[in-house]
Amino acid sequence: MDLCPSVKNILLLDSEGKRIAVKYYSDDWPTNSAKEAFEKAVFTKTQKTNARTEVEIAMFESNIVVYKFVQDLHFYVTGGEDENEVFLATVLQGFFDAVDILLRGNVDKKEALENLDLILLCIDGIVDGGIVLEGDANSIASKVASHSIDSGAPFSEQTISQALATAREHLTRSLLK
Amino acid sequence: MAQPLVKKDDDRDDEVDYSPFLGIEKGAVLQEARVFNDPQLDTRRCSQVITKLLYLLNQGETLTKVEATEVFFAVTKLFQSKDIGLRRMVYLMIKELSPSADEVIIVTSSLMKDMNSRTDMYRANAIRVLCRITDGTLLTQIERYLKQAIVDKSPVVASAALVSGIHLLQTNPEIVKRWSNEVQEAVQSRAALVQFHALALLHQIRQNDRLAVNKLVTSLTKGSIRSPLAQCLLIRYTSQVIRESGVNPQTGDRPFYDYLEGCLRHKAEMVIYEAAKAITELSNVTARELTPAITVLQLFLSSSKPVLRFAAVRTLNKVAMTHPMAVTNCNIDMESLISDQNRSIATLAITTLLKTGNESSVDRLMKQITNFMSDIADEFKIVVVEAIRSLCLKFPLKYRSLMNFLSNILREEGGFEYKKAIVDSIVILIRDIPDAKESGLLHLCEFIEDCEFTYLSTQILHFLGNEGPKTSDPSKYIRYIYNRVILENATVRASAVSTLAKFGALVDPLKPRIFVLLRRCLFDNDDEVRDRATLYLNTLGDGSVTETDKAVKEFLFGSLDIPLTNLETSLKNYLRDPAEEPFDLYSVPKEVKSQSFAEKKAPSKKPTGLSAQPAAPTSAPDAYERLLSSIPEFASFGKLFKSSAPVELTEAETEYAVNVVKHIFDRHVVFQYNCTNTIPEQCLENVTVIVDASEAEEFAEVGTKPLKSLPYDTPAQTFVAFEKPEGVPAVGKFSNVLRFTVKEVDPSTGEAEDDGVEDEYQLEDFEVVAADYILKLGVSNFKNAWENMDPASERVDEYGLGPRESLAEAVNAVIILLGMHPCEGTEVVPSNSRSHTCLLSGVYIGNVKVLVRLSFGIDGTKEVAMKLAVRSEDESVSEAIHEIVASG
């Protein structure tokens, strides 16, 4: 076992404790049912607490869980019992802020599911195999978002109908807001 | 928030109308994945399909082998597209699918192309993917690129390569170790995270080279570390180095302490906390060293961030266990945390306060806790109850308010574990604080009037039976007990009957009334209850009020001095193979299997690379006994008294590895030599050990059991038996030579040649010492056991132990010398204490129970003096213990 600060999992759940996106980096929960049981336990225990302004913290089966809620989304980061609590909170804050940037401030379940690709890339960009790759929310978000600008750029590669579809979608989105 | 109403509608609409994954189904998505094969790629669509697949996998859906392969091949087609976003989703998908080795080859070239791309994101992510899915052979092919990437000027690429290196080090250490020059260069990087990743990898590469780690820490602590993460890492490495190097004996200074203290003034909270935590965890930390760390933690206590408050109070809580005085300065801040919204913080604050509080603050504290108890969960309440119990033992004079508190919470709602914790606490307080006995017993009586847990009721009834008759007015408990017989289930009724009998046996004036009650129990509808009532009526003298027999008392109150797990195994063995003669209680081994206990006590901190200790060998008295009784030569020796732990007779990694286990019988000693042959080209035959017992005068060799054949790497045993005077702890030194016939073995066929050569192999000497004749046997309540021993058997004397390194070392030496079981955790000596009392218990050969009370004192010149008091069932044994100490 090395001494490197590490993360055991990152969870993004909805207001009923269902998965939006989760990623595990440790073998503590070998099966999907073990993972689900952990998520359920964490969710039930933290549900009633107020983690909307500050990052909150709890101990769990000799793990430390830090968490923050916004709208109907619950963000969690788990580490071992000897892990630096402040470090875990920093990772969580990075994740949380990056999602906020990527969803342009509309942080709720609907937006998250519609942009699940961004969320998954975001998680992938924060931690690799338990080790923090990037902690700063702006850097995380810019790496993930680089393509949303790019994909629009090479119009030559898109067919007319695709371009139209994209345009229509943009229009409906702006109307819905 | 006025959300609930609105939210309900919202939820319904949202989930029905807007969730992009509503009604998603694996089969359909796999069909959709065919778009990956279109000649004209629709990148948007492809991206969406990958997202759907990832969504399914994330929800716990699994793909069959065939499905995964299909998806994998289809996804590889997408490398044609130039779309960055799609490419990143492809990377993600490949990592998620974790393809098999033959599939990896398909994407290798595409990924290697990306690794050399001009786009940083491609290079970085391609490295991560390739390193994740690659195996050793492929790794050597791409090693060159990875080395380059480590020193790449783009931090994203360098970090990707370094982190991948950290992961690869687990599987392919020899390759990654070749990169240390590049990694070393990356440690100097200006990019904060690159430095962090490089430092982590460099340390892991060198972690087994103590000197290199020391050098690394020495150079980096001089400053040049940029990111807080890297700084935390360095703090951890530094404390590891400190742990291994110890305190400078001349100046009393600790190397690198100044660095840790300097980190307390860092601007990042993460670093400040890491440093404070590191200081509090230093071994034998002094008050002076602790102070600056406590000061910053105290500041954190009043932070607006829950995480900081939690971190600080948790660390202080740990410090309070060893250095309660150092934490008292924080008490005021801690008291304000009792009302913290976060209940974990509040509980930690309370338990810390309970550890550091002084006698005068107890009442105030209890008041605050009472308000607090009603709104925390059971698990927190248990922690509080345990803290209160230790507080009460610390300040026995305050038992009244603490006992009241416990009885109040006992009456409130709560689950089994919580109630059990309370009951246990009350029982312990009754045992240790005589004044608390009567009130405590009454609280328990009230509790069982309305107790829903059978287990707790029976426990309390049993306890009541032992303690109740000794109180000033035993009759007042009878009502509570007899109510149980009327109102409860069969299990509780049966134990209530036993309790009544105990009152009857000890309190003569109550006897007639007890008989009346017991006779009523004869009509109970449960067999066990009736049986017990009948049994007790007869043993107590059925109606005639006479002095209760000593044997009856022994039967009722005598404790079972056999570990229950041992009894269980013995009974199971007996039932599996029932013999003619009845089961003999004395055949149950008394050796306590302390394994699980030792494991529990082991520090929860995971051992780090260097300091990892091999696990202690498991003691297996049962196995030994079975083994010995299967050998006809030794069958007549009787019951095995004790088997020692194996003593190594050879250096590690020699040709033949031999250790010896000493089996002690009443009149015999059997040495079991466990031999292992570590030479594949040899087979040993007729293996014996020639024992020279000239320095062990009381022993006479009576037999040996040679080992027929000892093939390569198959441990086997040879035995030598000695006779010794009965019941006498004879000691002596034995020298040993291994004698055998060597036969060459053809390693390819495994067949031995016919001719062998006789040879000998010198083994190390070992001794039979007095401790071999003492069994470790714990007692649950030392004080009671001590008082129950005949004071006439007590022998007291004082000894000077000369200069010692520390008090703990002296205590430990005596425990090892006597080979007895330390009771009630008294083997742990608090650091910096000047005196210590240690309680030991054991069984001396001949089944004589022995209790030892050791009082140690140490003076300024480290001279240790010891007072040894021994009580045992036999005076001569008390004297024998003194002899052991006097000669040791």
- Residue A101 identity (one-letter amino acid): I
The residue of B11, B50, B53, B88 whose CB has the most chain A CBs within 10 angstroms, and thus the best one to mutate to test that interface, is B88
The confidence score (pLDDT) of residue B286 equals 83
Query: Are residue B761 and residue B781 in the same domain, yes or no?
Result: no
Separation between Cα atoms, residue B163 and residue B568, nearest integer Å: 52
Nearest chain B residue to A142 by CA: give it.
Answer: B121
- Nearest Cα of chain B lies from the Cα of A54 at a distance, in angstroms, of 6
B463: left (phi over 0), alpha (psi -120 to 50) or beta: alpha
Q: Each residue's pLDDT tens digit in chain A (177 positions)?
A: 468 889 999 999 998 888 999 999 998 898 999 999 999 999 988 888 888 888 999 988 789 999 999 988 999 999 998 899 999 999 999 999 999 998 888 888 888 898 898 999 999 999 998 999 988 888 888 888 765 444 434 444 445 555 666 676 667 666 665
Test A86 with B50 for CB contact under 8 angstroms.
Answer: no
Closest partner residue to A82 (CB to CB) among B60, B204, B605 is B605
The confidence score (pLDDT) of residue A153 equals 40
The confidence score (pLDDT) of residue B210 equals 82
Does any domain span residue B341?
Answer: no
* CA B600 remoteness from chain centre: 3
Closest partner residue to A58 (CB to CB) among B55, B82, B344 is B344
Closest partner residue to A85 (CB to CB) among B19, B200, B307 is B307
Query: Are residue B54 and residue B174 in the same domain, yes or no?
Result: yes
**CA angle centred on B157, ends B156 and B158, rounded to 5°:** 95
The confidence score (pLDDT) of residue B8 equals 42
Does any domain span residue A52?
Answer: yes
Nearest chain A residue to B60 by CA: give it.
Answer: A32
Q: Where are the beta strands (DSSP E) in A4-135?
A: 9-14, 19-24, 56-60, 63-70, 73-80, 127-128, 131-132
From first CA to last CA, the distance across chain B in angstroms is 75
Query: Are residue B712 and residue B831 in the same domain, yes or no?
Result: no
Test A151 with B84 for CB contact under 8 angstroms.
Answer: yes
Separation between Cα atoms, residue A93 and residue A91, nearest integer Å: 5
Test B58 with A154 for CB contact under 8 angstroms.
Answer: no
Contacts of A154 in chain B (CB under 8 A): 82-83
Residue B340, token pair as written in the block: 């913290």
Q: Helices A116-126 and A137-150 meet at what angle, rounded to 10?
A: 140
Does any domain span residue B491?
Answer: yes
Contacts of A81 in chain B (CB under 8 A): 604
φ/ψ of B464, rounded to 5, equals: -60, -40
Does any domain span residue B31?
Answer: yes
For the four alpha carbons of B70, B73, B75 and B81, in that order, the dihedral sign comes to negative
To the nearest 5 percent, what fractions of chain B are helix, strand and coil? Answer: 60, 15, 25
For the domain that residue A121 is a member of, what is the CATH number? 3.30.450.60
Test B307 with A162 for CB contact under 8 angstroms.
Answer: no
Separation between Cα atoms, residue A74 and residue B287, nearest integer Å: 42
Query: Are residue B648 and residue B550 in the same domain, yes or no?
Result: no
Contact partners, residue B758, CB within 8 Å, separation at least 6 = B739, B740, B741, B742
Does any domain span residue B348?
Answer: no
Separation between Cα atoms, residue B492 and residue B457, nearest integer Å: 7
- Nearest Cα of chain B lies from the Cα of A91 at a distance, in angstroms, of 11
The confidence score (pLDDT) of residue B251 equals 60
Query: Are residue B133 and residue B198 in the same domain, yes or no?
Result: yes
Contacts of A57 in chain B (CB under 8 A): 306-307, 310-311, 342, 344
Test A3 with B203 for CB contact under 8 angstroms.
Answer: yes
Place of tokens 């943009």: A170
Closest partner residue to A110 (CB to CB) among B18, B193, B203 is B18
For the four alpha carbons of B46, B48, B50 and B53, in that order, the dihedral sign comes to negative
| Residue A119 structural domain | 7-176
Domain final position from B245, B268, B301? B245
- Residue B434 identity (one-letter amino acid): P
Q: Is B143 exposed, middle or buried (0-12, 13-18, 19+ CB in 10 A)?
A: middle
Q: For B882, how many CA atoms within 13 A lie in the half-sphere containing its CB?
A: 18
Test A134 with B159 for CB contact under 8 angstroms.
Answer: yes
To the nearest 5 percent, what fractions of chain A are helix, strand and coil? Answer: 45, 20, 30
Contacts of B88 in chain A (CB under 8 A): 121, 147
* Range list of H helices, A56-159: 85-102, 109-114, 116-126, 137-150
Closest partner residue to A133 (CB to CB) among B40, B82, B163 is B163
- Nearest Cα of chain B lies from the Cα of A56 at a distance, in angstroms, of 6
Nearest chain B residue to A5 by CA: give it.
Answer: B233
Test B85 with A120 for CB contact under 8 angstroms.
Answer: no
Does any domain span residue A2?
Answer: no
For the domain that residue B845 is a member of, what is the CATH number? 3.30.310.10
The confidence score (pLDDT) of residue B450 equals 84
The confidence score (pLDDT) of residue B136 equals 75
Does any domain span residue B237?
Answer: yes
DSSP state, B806? Answer: -
Query: Which 3 state secondary structure label does DSSP give B830?
Result: coil
Of the candidates B19, B100, B86, the one whose C-alpha atom is nearest the C-alpha of residue B55 is B19
Nearest chain A residue to B132 by CA: give it.
Answer: A129
Query: Are residue B158 and residue B59 in the same domain, yes or no?
Result: yes
A75: left (phi over 0), alpha (psi -120 to 50) or beta: beta
The confidence score (pLDDT) of residue B309 equals 93
Does any domain span residue A103?
Answer: yes
Does any domain span residue B680?
Answer: yes
Query: Are residue B737 and residue B633 in the same domain, yes or no?
Result: yes
Separation between Cα atoms, residue B834 and residue B796, nearest integer Å: 21
Closest partner residue to B19 (CB to CB) among A4, A55, A113 is A113
The residue of B46, B176, B310 whose CB has the most chain A CBs within 10 angstroms, and thus the best one to mutate to test that interface, is B310
Domain final position from B183, B212, B245? B245
Closest partner residue to A87 (CB to CB) among B42, B62, B232 is B232
| Residue B485 structural domain | 449-561
Query: Are residue B797 and residue B737 in the same domain, yes or no?
Result: no
The confidence score (pLDDT) of residue A13 equals 92
- Cβ–Cβ pairs < 8 A, chains A and B: 173
Query: Are residue B517 and residue B633 in the same domain, yes or no?
Result: no
- Residue B495 identity (one-letter amino acid): S
Q: Bridge-partner residues for B870, per DSSP?
A: B795, B852
Taking residue B308's Cβ as centre, other Cβ atoms within 10 Å add up to: 24
Test B305 with A54 for CB contact under 8 angstroms.
Answer: yes
Query: Are residue B692 and residue B776 in the same domain, yes or no?
Result: no
Test B44 with A162 for CB contact under 8 angstroms.
Answer: yes
Q: Domain total for chain B? A: 4
Q: Domain total for chain A? A: 1
- Nearest Cα of chain B lies from the Cα of A29 at a distance, in angstroms, of 13
- Nearest Cα of chain A lies from the Cα of B343 at a distance, in angstroms, of 9
Nearest chain B residue to A82 by CA: give it.
Answer: B605
DSSP state, B703? Answer: E
Domain final position from B711, B734, B768? B768
The residue of B123, B208, B270 whose CB has the most chain A CBs within 10 angstroms, and thus the best one to mutate to test that interface, is B270
Query: Are residue B463 and residue B519 in the same domain, yes or no?
Result: yes
Place of tokens 């801690």: B334
Contacts of A21 in chain B (CB under 8 A): 58
- Residue numbers of chain B with a pLDDT score lower than 70: 1-18, 246-252, 375, 542-562, 586, 589-622, 727, 747-748, 750, 780, 888
Query: Are residue B80 and residue B227 in the same domain, yes or no?
Result: yes
For the four alpha carbons of B296, B297, B302 and B307, in that order, the dihedral sign comes to positive
Q: Is A49 exposed, middle or buried (0-12, 13-18, 19+ CB in 10 A)?
A: middle
The residue of A57, A71, A173 whose CB has the most chain B CBs within 10 angstroms, and thus the best one to mutate to test that interface, is A57
Does any domain span residue B212?
Answer: yes
Contacts of A1 in chain B (CB under 8 A): 606-609
For the domain that residue B710 is a member of, what is the CATH number? 2.60.40.1480
Test A120 with B58 for CB contact under 8 angstroms.
Answer: yes
The confidence score (pLDDT) of residue B608 equals 36
Test B14 with A110 for CB contact under 8 angstroms.
Answer: yes
